[in-house]
């Protein structure tokens, strides 16, 4: 008898135990482009093309290494539409007495898998995912009994556990965090090294045609397509980043420049999250660059913190707080997403630029996601469910385990402050400081009221006013509320009036 090994589209890692411990002579690996996973939200066309192509290349790699592989394409007559039905179909055609799978990244799928053994009438083993550097149980042990769940303290424990940037028990350089050095704006004339591009091969071209035919009503631009789709290419992306952009990454990681979506960022999250790269090899590459003297500590520590700190933290946070995390709505926001989240037609240049780049690339860097798009979502009172779905479908690196904590906890504060110590809201002045978006905007960032006033300005103070009862006791909001208390009533009333007029336009689908 043999084992049927299911590999999901975000598990494209040959070192997974289900593969490394497989009996190649008897076991069979199943990968499937099933409709249920591709359409439960209308994923960005480029995201689907990337994953299907990466899956097909991975299946080919497994075959070349002696595995028996059953690969089900999206338009195959053998495609049964869901993972469970595909497994049923495959079991019926072969002599399998066991099903193995690696822990999925989504709560809904994990809950389904827990029922599979009863449904299939064969043993089903769900292995832990060893690609993460903290197990779900480790995070639970760290979190249990805490009143606050702050990434910084979790990150320090991870540094100690894995010996990353450590000198004995102390952090290299004497500090754990060099974020204060990583907030510089960038000149529009900065000559940033080009990001990695790969011409689509025959496999990717076939996938692009498939997506054109079957996902034409999904969000996003399908072409030009230039992402890595193999591990070899993904490693090239990582190595190019380490060599060419890591030295300036820290300094400019919060900067935004119109027409320059890539900047000094690594662009590896989509490869990490689907398994073409592993966290520890990315961390090690950056650490080696520091010790070799080719990248400064603030850049290296900042990059490592994104992976070893934030990525590991949000994954543990997700499983710790599910399923309630998905339904939290601390501010009771219910407003639907405006049309410009889909068609990019808005006079707010910062929003227009960030959504246009998202539409074109299925990518935007973290400050664009948090302090422009996310900031607007919270200030405008948009529905957490709608916002969560949008972030999940538009970005190529988005899976629920990473998207939901970032959106519910960091962007919307809809969990009531379990993840973030305060709502991440800001007026237009922050965007103006960190970008050049305001120079080509239909509004004036210096104006708080009036027809041409920046909407972020009056929406910000309207939010501060509306949420006073919920936020005034937050120590990190104390200075803001002191400023608010000193403001003249006439100014507050004017900003509230402008905010209400703006919201009315949103709700009536008028251009803003």
Q: Which two tokens stand for residue 343?
A: 């068609």
DSSP H or E stretch at residue 242: none
Q: How many helices (H) and strands (E) does the chain have?
A: 27, 7
CA–centroid distance for 253 within its chain: 16
Q: Tens place of pLDDT for every residue, the chain, 512 residues?
A: 799 999 999 999 999 999 999 999 999 999 999 998 888 899 999 999 999 999 999 999 999 999 999 999 999 999 999 999 999 999 999 899 999 999 999 999 999 999 999 999 999 999 999 999 999 999 999 999 998 999 999 999 999 999 999 999 999 999 999 988 888 999 999 999 999 999 999 999 999 999 999 999 999 999 999 999 999 999 999 999 999 999 999 999 999 999 999 999 999 999 999 999 999 999 999 999 999 999 999 999 999 999 999 999 999 999 999 999 999 999 999 999 999 999 999 999 999 999 999 999 999 999 999 999 999 999 999 999 999 999 999 999 999 999 999 999 999 999 999 999 999 999 999 999 999 999 999 999 999 998 899 999 999 999 999 999 999 999 999 999 999 999 999 999 999 999 999 999 999 989 99
Other C-beta atoms closer than 10 Å to the C-beta of 147 total 4
Which residues make Cβ contacts (< 8 Å) with residue 9, sequence separation at least 6? 31, 33, 37, 51, 52, 54, 55, 274
Give residue 201's Cα distance to chain centre: 27
**In whole angstroms, what is the distance from residue 234 CA to residue 482 CA?**
49
Spans of all domains in the chain: 2-127, 137-203+212-321, 340-507
Tokens found for residue 344:
């990019």
Identify which of 461, 365, 470 has the alpha carbon closest to the alpha carbon of residue 414.
470
CA torsion 141→145→147→152, rounded to 10°? -20
Yes or no: say if 167 and 155 are a contact pair by the CB < 8 Å rule. Answer: no
How distant is the alpha carbon of residue 50 from its chain centre? Answer: 15
Q: 192 and 41 in contact (C-beta within 8 Å)?
A: no
Angle at 33 between CA 120 and CA 392, to 5 degrees: 105
Decide: 408 and 388 in contact? Cβ < 8 Å: yes
- 300 phi and psi angles, rounded to 5 deg: -65, -45
What number of other Cβ atoms are within 10 A of residue 386's Cβ? Answer: 16
Q: Which CATH number fits domain 340-507: 1.10.287.40, 3.40.50.150, 1.10.579.10, 3.30.70.1560?
A: 1.10.579.10
Q: CA 157 → CA 133, 171, 189, 281, 368, distances in Å?
A: 11, 11, 40, 19, 29
Question: According to the model, what pLDDT value does residue 180 have?
Answer: 87
Q: How much is the pTM? A: 0.96
User: Cis omega (within 30 of 0) on the bond before 6?
Assistant: no
> What local confidence, expressed as pLDDT, does residue 132 receive?
97
Measured CA to CA, the distance from residue 294 to residue 274 in angstroms comes to 29
Whole-number Cα distances in Å, 49 to 10, 17, 276, 399 = 13, 27, 15, 15
Which CATH code, of 3.20.20.20, 3.80.10.10, 3.40.50.620, 3.40.640.10, is assigned to 2-127?
A: 3.40.50.620
pLDDT score, position 501: 96
Structural tokens at position 460? 């910000």
What local confidence, expressed as pLDDT, does residue 383 receive? 98
Angle value at C-alpha 363, between 446 and 210, nearest 5 degrees = 140
d(Cα 94, Cα 28) in Å, to the nearest integer? 10
DSSP SS3 for 100? strand
**The domain made up of 137-203+212-321 is a member of CATH 1.25.40.80:** yes
CA dist 348 → 2, 336, 368, 510 (Å): 59, 18, 14, 13
Chain centre to alpha carbon of residue 45: 16
């Amino acid at each position: 008898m043999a084992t049927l090994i299911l590999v999901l589209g975000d598990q494209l890692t040959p070192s997974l135990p289900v593969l490394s411990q497989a009996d190649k002579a008897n076991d069979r690996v199943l990968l499937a482009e099933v409709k249920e996973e591709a359409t439960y939200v209308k994923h960005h066309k480029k995201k689907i093309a990337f994953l299907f192509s990466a899956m097909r290349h991975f299946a080919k790699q497994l075959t070349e290494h002696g595995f028996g592989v059953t690969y089900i394409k999206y338009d195959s007559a053998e495609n049964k539409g869901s993972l469970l039905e595909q497994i049923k179909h495959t079991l019926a055609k072969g002599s399998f007495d066991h099903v193995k799978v690696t822990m999925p990244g989504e709560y809904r799928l994990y809950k389904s898998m827990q029922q599979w053994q009863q449904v299939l009438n064969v043993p089903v083993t769900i292995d832990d995912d060893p690609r993460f550097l903290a197990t779900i149980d480790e995070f639970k042990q760290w979190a249990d009994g805490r009143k606050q769940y702050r990434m910084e303290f979790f990150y320090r424990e991870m540094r100690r556990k894995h010996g990353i940037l450590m000198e004995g028990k102390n952090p290299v350089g004497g500090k754990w965090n060099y974020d204060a050095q990583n907030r510089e704006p960038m000149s529009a004339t900065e000559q940033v090294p080009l990001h990695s591009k790969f011409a689509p091969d025959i496999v990717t071209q076939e996938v692009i045609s498939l997506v054109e035919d079957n996902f034409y009503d999904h969000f996003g631009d399908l072409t030009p397509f230039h992402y890595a789709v193999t591990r070899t290419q993904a490693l090239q992306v990582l190595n190019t980043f380490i060599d060419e952009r890591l030295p300036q990454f820290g300094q400019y990681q919060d900067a935004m420049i119109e027409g320059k979506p890539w900047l000094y960022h690594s662009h590896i999250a989509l490869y990490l999250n689907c398994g073409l790269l592993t966290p520890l090899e990315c961390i090690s590459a950056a650490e080696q660059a520091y010790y070799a003297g080719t990248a400064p500590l603030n850049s290296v520590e900042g990059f490592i913190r994104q992976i070893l700190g934030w990525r590991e933290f949000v994954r543990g946070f997700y499983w710790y707080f599910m399923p309630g995390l998905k339904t939290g709505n601390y501010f009771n926001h219910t407003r639907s997403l405006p049309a410009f989240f889909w068609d990019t037609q808005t006079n707010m240049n910062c929003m227009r630029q960030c959504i246009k780049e998202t539409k074109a690339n299925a990518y935007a860097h973290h400050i664009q996601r948090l302090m422009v798009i996310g900031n607007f979502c919270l200030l405008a009172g948009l529905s957490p469910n709608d916002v969560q779905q949008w972030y999940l479908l538009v970005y190529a690196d988005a899976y629920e385990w990473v998207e939901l904590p970032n959106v519910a906890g960091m962007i919307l504060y809809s969990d009531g402050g379990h993840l973030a110590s305060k709502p991440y809201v800001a007026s237009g002045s922050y965007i103006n400081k960190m970008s050049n978006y305001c120079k080509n905007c239909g509004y004036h960032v210096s104006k708080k009221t009036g027809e041409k006033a920046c909407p972020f300005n009056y929406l910000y103070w309207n939010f501060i006013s509306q949420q006073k009862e919920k936020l005034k006791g937050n120590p990190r909001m104390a200075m803001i509320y002191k400023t608010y208390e000193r403001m003249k009533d006439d100014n507050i009333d004017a900003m509230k009036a402008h905010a209400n007029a703006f919201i009315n336009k949103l709700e009536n689908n008028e251009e803003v």
